[in-house]
């Protein structure tokens, strides 16, 4: 099996790929990037928490124009994963309103973004409909 590295550092690969967030010990706010202080309560203590892989589509837009090299159309979305909002694309389904609907159940899925000269795969995540 090819060596794989996560495309973003809050994606954890392995048998059960999932996202991790930094959760503020003071107020519970969650951030996917590294923070020195909480944007809500200015607390400085964080712990790492696993984010649920199943959720619900909260908002989306079908993107038909993008930078050169980006395949269109694709579905940009915000998904609620057990109370944590995550931005990601809806994947593994046709990018049209017949297949992508507000409130639909989705699940985290990974896909290979690209492979370098040594065969190492960069892996990103998206959300696929749960049928």
Residue 24 touches Zn ion, criterion: CB under 5 A: yes
Residue 29 touches Zn ion, criterion: CB under 5 A: yes
Q: How far is the CB of 22 from Zn ion (least distance, A)?
A: 10
Question: Rounded to an integer, what distance in angstroms lies between the CA atom of residue 46 and that of residue 61?
Answer: 32
| Piece of 22-30, 56-64, 66-74, 121-129 that binds Zn ion (CB under 5 A) | 22-30
How many residues sit close enough to Zn ion to count as binding (CB under 5 A)?
8
| Residue 25: partners with Cβ closer than 8 Å, 6 or more residues away | 43, 45, 46, 47
Nearer of residues 49 and 102 to Zn ion, judged by Cβ: 49
Q: Are 91 and 60 in contact (CB under 8 A)?
A: no
DSSP symbols for 6-67: ESSTTEE-SSS-EEEEEEETTT--EESS--SS-TTT----EEEEEEPSEEEEEEEEEE---S
Site for Zn ion in 35-74 (CB under 5 A): 38, 40-41, 43
Residue 129 touches Zn ion, criterion: CB under 5 A: no
| Piece of 20-28, 69-77, 106-114, 118-126 that binds Zn ion (CB under 5 A) | 20-28
| 39, 86, 109 from 18: Cα distances, Å | 24, 12, 9
Q: Both tokens of residue 85? A: 């909002």
Site for Zn ion in 108-127 (CB under 5 A): none
Q: How far is the CB of 29 from Zn ion (least distance, A)?
A: 5
Q: Which residues bind Zn ion (CB under 5 A)?
A: 24, 26-27, 29, 38, 40-41, 43
């Amino acid at each position: 099996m090819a060596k794989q590295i996560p495309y973003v550092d809050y994606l954890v690969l392995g048998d059960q790929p999932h996202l991790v967030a930094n959760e503020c010990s003071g107020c519970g706010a969650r951030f996917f990037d590294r923070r020195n202080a909480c944007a809500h309560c200015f607390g400085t203590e964080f712990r790492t928490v696993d984010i649920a892989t199943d959720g619900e589509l909260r908002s989306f837009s079908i993107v038909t124009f993008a930078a050169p090299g980006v395949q269109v159309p694709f579905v940009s979305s915000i998904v609620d994963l057990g109370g944590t909002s995550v931005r990601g694309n809806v994947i593994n389904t046709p990018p049209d309103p017949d297949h992508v609907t507000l409130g639909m159940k989705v699940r985290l899925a990974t896909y290979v973004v690209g492979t370098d000269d040594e065969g190492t795969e960069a892996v990103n995540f998206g959300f696929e409909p749960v049928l």
